[in-house]
């Protein structure tokens, strides 16, 4: 994972271990969504750009805060805007 559990918890301002399993799953889901949006894996980078890390953290925070009412279209649109410069175009 590009984003560690500790980084995500700091971003979310979570100070306990109660939801570590949930947050780990959200990191994995967000990273997969970012890779799907980019149309390539993050292993292609020697150093993952800050924008991509921020998109992953945004996804984690959005899914964490909106567990029951998440609007995935809205989340994906913002991710696409952040990730556009890094995205592989497919024709």
pLDDT in tens, 19-72: 999 999 999 999 999 999 999 999 999 999 999 999 999 999 999 999 888 788
Positive or negative CA dihedral for 69, 31, 22, 58? negative
For the entire predicted model, the pTM comes to: 0.91
Q: How far apart (Å, rounded) are the C-alpha atoms in residues 35 and 21?
A: 21
């Amino acid at each position: 994972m590009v984003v560690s559990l500790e980084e995500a918890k700091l971003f979310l301002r979570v100070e306990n271990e109660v939801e570590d399993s949930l947050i780990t799953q959200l990191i994995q889901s967000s990273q997969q969504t970012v890779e799907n949006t980019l149309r390539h894996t993050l292993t292609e980078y020697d150093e993952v750009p800050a924008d991509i890390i921020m998109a992953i953290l945004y996804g984690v925070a959005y899914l964490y805060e909106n567990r029951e009412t998440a609007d995935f279209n809205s989340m994906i649109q913002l991710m696409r805007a952040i990730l556009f410069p890094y995205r592989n175009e497919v024709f």
